Structure 1
Amino acid sequence: MSTSPHPGADPKPLLFALYEQASVGCGGAPSLWTHPADERLGINSLSYWSSLARIADQANLDMLFFADVLGFYDGYGGTADAALKWAVEAPANDPLMIIPALAAVTENLAFGVTVSTSYEHPFTHARRFSTLDHLSNGRVGWNIVTSYLNSAARNFGLEQMIKHNDRYERAEEFLDVVYKLWEGSWAQDAVVADKSRQLYAQGERVRPINHVGEHYRVAGPHLSSPSPQRTPLLIQAGWSGRGREFAAKHAELIFIAKSNPLEIRQGLDEIWAQAQARGRQADDVKSLTVLRIVTAKTEIEAQRKYEQLQSNYHLQAQLVSYAGDTGIDISRYADNEPLATHTEGLTSYMMRPDGSGKPLTAGDVKQRFASVTRGTDLILVGTPEQVAQRIEVHAAISGTSGYMINPLISPGSLEDFVELVIPALQKRGLYRTQPQSGTLRSRLRNDGSSYLPASAHGASFRFA
């Protein structure tokens, strides 16, 4: 029996976000910055990001989401040369510097941003996010990652990347520290801000956290006053067994890079069941599935757009991305050679999708990434009505709360979604007709609260 929060429910508006990176080569098809219509060479300009954010805001998208990396993709051939040639997630500017400017030029658009628990310090991280939450009026979420690039580890003084399970253990302590700062350091009534009484805050209602753990020693108190959400909305993308356990404990929004709706439903059912075992509600855990769209008013036009994308798509760039994601230098493998499975990278990318537990060969990978469709990714090509119909069916089967639009070209993919697909989704009741206001968390919660629910792990650290 499914533990979906809305089994058999009538269609209702889905969540929609835009996936971005502060990089020239973004996400799933990084070489498409070479497409004549793509404008990603403008990433160093604030006007590029402001224009993109305004389009998303006016279209009532729920969120502009920024992925991030902390090192070059230097696994392919043992150097960063190919990554720099194709701009594979490079250069990588800091998205946290961009978001306040975008919050100032938008009314309702929320922002998600990736920050690693492996290389940040929780004290400075907590202050940075409280500041961001204040400046955006609570329109911010934190995508919690543990990082997977060896180059990032070296950039932070480590000889090699921290092992997978150790990264999660470090993340658990990191979360405890920031919960103590966000939820437990300042009481809700600590701030008085009364000029006549010459009293800003009551000292006895602000306390140190005195955290002493295996990885961190943090005295506190938190330097920022309580922000609109206190704890930013918590986003997480781990799909491994350990990742699902972490999501069930902490996540409020899950980012899913899978296409098979039955596989997505199975994973969500598992996470919902684990969340409920922890005393949470299944509906406390929403999800966004990565989606790429190629659309036009006619099937012939849509196919022509796809062929233009394919002519500007380059396999080597995709293999550079694959080597970075997995930690496997695929350039050193013969086509018939099975990939090694001992890696601290994204191991799910190396296994056959048939459930056999066997690794892919290098030839399998090259075949999978030979085209823009990229094998296992969810990509829809067709008219707006065809795309909307397939989204409706996929959502009904998978149980996903919505979709993360991964643009193939920018801003063209977003503009096509806004102009063509949104009206088709609205006809089906799958896209809101009015903007949402309030904090990001209040929009996702049934009770409209801006704060973590009492059943959340982070709420256990609150100032009594």
Structure 2
Amino acid sequence: MTIRDGGLIFGLYEQNCIGMGAGAVTLWRDRHDRRLEALTPGYWLDLARICEEGGLDLIFFGDVLGMYDTYAGSAETAITYGVELPAHDPAVLAGILAAATERLSFVVTASTTYSHPFDLARRFSTIDHLSGGRFGWNVVTSYLPNAAGNFGLDRMIDHDERYEIAEEFLDVTYQLWEGSWADDAFIADPASGLFANADRVRPINHDGKHFRVAGPHVSVPSRQRTPVIFQSGWSPRGRRFGARHAEVIFAGADGPESFVSGLADIRAHAAGQGRNPADVSALSSLSVVTAPTEAEVQRKVDRMQSVYVAEAQMAAFSAWSGVDLAAHTADDLAKRRTGHTESVLQEAGSGPAPLRIEELRRSHRSFYGGDHSGSFIGTPDVVADAIERHARVTGTAGYILRTFVSPETVEDFVTLILPRLRERGLHQPPSAVTTLRSRLRGTDRLPDTHPAARHRWPAVVAR
């Protein structure tokens, strides 16, 4: 049920934007919401303080590199309502917030399709140093056609080809992080004047299909060397990728059965590649509306629903899935390959009946997704009971909380829900200054069975 002693991991899902699609995109209009202040550092510093003092383990930053223009074939709806806009860089925030916190960790989403491995490795080593190792990378391949155009491509690269690029991308970063500097290369001895042993620093001279990188890495080894590898893909190809590389899967499952079967599939693939299946864990998505009484809960639900715009949320879903919810079709959408985030449609269409446009439109009538299994609405004891049941059924390692109203959602969670979960032995707040990997696994470094380990100097895994 857990990935370390002390119970479940709890994190907050965020994006460096105002209209956050993974919550309910138009709830920035709520009178209790502060997201219009998200263009200032004070907003983020306050949010990080709430998370750290409340005992959360991490903030997980999503990211996009383009506009959401699938709905009605235009970005008009996304711009009108601010769907995941402005799309500011979350890595910049991670460095700022790391300096203002001691125990809270940060996970940043970055694309292997529109980045370069040398540049990313340098940037992420910098953050790992500045945070003392409280850092992870959520590896994505990107899904927006508009992003492809922003990076000079005539078309979006095919879904499976993006994963092929990602495989080589990670191999290059592993060579830089794990194999470019020996553990004893960095000396920094003022008495002798020796900064580093040049004989213990080497180029990587990678010459592959998609990348050529000479090296060496220009950063000295950080505490973790390789940031903790998160991955969000839930399609068949995404699962195989996660099985090879991920330490933590942010699961795209829409129900307990799908979560259990999906994680079992990933772990089976991991074992087939020589990894310890227990080294791969998964976190679930969680959304909460809570208050001390049922009447107060209902007032919050009504208040949020009053500023919710279903069309804006459908514009977000259309971009995620590649299916235009403004269109009308009788197709079984779950069988369609769009090249976007394919697991979104697979999970939405996991029921016995064919998935239709009208069903998806109806599911967006409420800001919390109606009967969506990841939504827990009720008084604190009701929500805590639901989380405990879900955790015991699924074996999830923890939860990433989606924000509806910020910071109200996270304040309610850390003051009303987390204390009850701790009473049940389901969570312990971070109490020491550790790396993120140590918090999750009890060690700063990747295990020897991870594919990155074969690049260590000397190599510890023969291939």
Question: Contact 1:292–1:380 (CA<8 Å) still a contact in 2?
Answer: yes
**Letter matched to residue 302 of structure 1:** V
* Correspondence 1:82 to 2:59: no
Task: Give the CA deviation at 1:113.
Answer: 0.3
Task: Give the CA deviation at 1:361.
Answer: 1.8
Equivalent position to 1:18, from 5, 12, 17: 12
The residue aligned with 1:117 is 112
Equivalent position to 2:328, from 333, 341, 360: 333
Deviates more, 1:340-349 or 1:419-428: 340-349
Question: Contact 1:255–1:289 (CA<8 Å) still a contact in 2?
Answer: yes
Equivalent position to 2:256, from 256, 261, 264: 261
The residue aligned with 1:62 is 57
SS at match of 1:421: helix
The residue aligned with 1:391 is 387
Alignment partners' CA distance in 2, 1:385 and 1:362: 36
Matches of residues 189-208 of structure 1 in structure 2 within 5 Å?
189-208=184-203
Task: Give the CA deviation at 1:352.
Answer: 7.3
SS at match of 2:26: helix
* Correspondence 1:419 to 2:412: no
Backbone CA RMSD of aligned residues = 1.9
Question: Contact 1:326–1:345 (CA<8 Å) still a contact in 2?
Answer: yes
The residue aligned with 1:369 is 364
Task: Give the CA deviation at 1:410.
Answer: 0.3
Question: Contact 1:258–1:376 (CA<8 Å) still a contact in 2?
Answer: no
Task: Give the CA deviation at 1:263.
Answer: 1.5
Alignment partners' CA distance in 1, 2:11 and 2:2: 21
Question: Contact 2:9–2:57 (CA<8 Å) still a contact in 1?
Answer: yes
- Over 3 Å counting, the alpha-carbon distance change for 1:51 and 1:325 in structure 2 is same
**Letter matched to residue 22 of structure 1:** N
The residue aligned with 1:450 is 444
Matches of residues 177-196 of structure 1 in structure 2 within 5 Å?
177-196=172-191
SS at match of 2:110: strand
Q: Taking every aligned residue pair, what percent have the same amino acid on both sides? A: 47
Deviations 1:72-113 (A, max 9, x none): 101122222210111100111111111111111111000000
Question: Contact 1:143–1:234 (CA<8 Å) still a contact in 2?
Answer: yes
Equivalent position to 1:378, from 374, 381, 384: 374
The residue aligned with 1:431 is 427
Alignment partners' CA distance in 2, 1:154 and 1:52: 34
Question: Contact 1:14–1:402 (CA<8 Å) still a contact in 2?
Answer: yes
Task: Give the CA deviation at 1:433.
Answer: 4.8
Question: Contact 2:29–2:307 (CA<8 Å) still a contact in 1?
Answer: yes
Task: Give the CA deviation at 1:259.
Answer: 3.8
- Over 3 Å counting, the alpha-carbon distance change for 1:354 and 1:80 in structure 2 is closer
SS at match of 2:14: strand
Name the TM-score, length of structure 2 as normaliser: 0.94
Deviations 1:347-370 (A, max 9, x none): 333357564687522211111111
**Letter matched to residue 316 of structure 2:** S
Alignment partners' CA distance in 1, 2:166 and 2:349: 31
Deviations 1:331-379 (A, max 9, x none): 2325x56548231112333357564687522211111111123154510
Matches of residues 40-439 of structure 1 in structure 2 within 5 Å?
40-333=35-328, 339=333, 341-351=336-346, 353=348, 355=350, 360-374=355-369, 375-433=371-429, 435-439=431-435
The residue aligned with 2:461 is none
Deviates more, 1:277-286 or 1:221-230: 277-286
Structure 2 stretches of 5 or more lacking a match?
459-463
- Over 3 Å counting, the alpha-carbon distance change for 1:401 and 1:194 in structure 2 is same
Deviates more, 1:288-297 or 1:325-334: 325-334
- Over 3 Å counting, the alpha-carbon distance change for 1:42 and 1:460 in structure 2 is same
- Over 3 Å counting, the alpha-carbon distance change for 1:436 and 1:266 in structure 2 is farther
Alignment partners' CA distance in 2, 1:434 and 1:201: 34
- Over 3 Å counting, the alpha-carbon distance change for 1:449 and 1:349 in structure 2 is closer
Deviates more, 1:215-224 or 1:310-319: 310-319
Task: Give the CA deviation at 1:12.
Answer: 5.2
The residue aligned with 2:25 is 30
Task: Give the CA deviation at 1:117.
Answer: 0.1
SS at match of 1:200: strand
Deviates more, 1:117-126 or 1:238-247: 238-247
Alignment partners' CA distance in 1, 2:231 and 2:430: 27
Task: Give the CA deviation at 1:426.
Answer: 1.2
